[in-house]
Amino acid sequence: METKITIAIDGYSSTGKSTVAKQLAQKLGYVYVDTGAMYRAVTLFMMRKLFVSATTLNSEAIVRHLPFISVKFVFNPKKGFGEIYLNGENVEKEIRYMEVSEQVSKVASIPEVRKLLVQQQKEMGKDKGVVMDGRDIGTVVFPNAELKLFMTASTETRAQRRYDELIQRGDKVSFEEVLKNVKERDYLDTTRDDSPLIMAKDALEIDNSNLTLEEQFGRILKIAEDKITEIST
In angstroms, the CA 6 to CA 13 distance is 21
In angstroms, the CA 35 to CA 118 distance is 9
| Of residues 23, 168, 171, 175, the one with CA closest to residue 94 | 171
In angstroms, the CA 181 to CA 117 distance is 23
Q: Per DSSP, what are the bridge partners of residue 8?
A: 132, 148
In angstroms, the CA 116 to CA 105 distance is 16
In angstroms, the CA 116 to CA 110 distance is 10
In angstroms, the CA 165 to CA 156 distance is 14
Between the two ends of the chain, the Cα-to-Cα distance in Å is: 12
DSSP state of 138: I
In angstroms, the CA 52 to CA 153 distance is 29
Residues in binding site: 11-19
Residues in binding site for ATP: 11-19
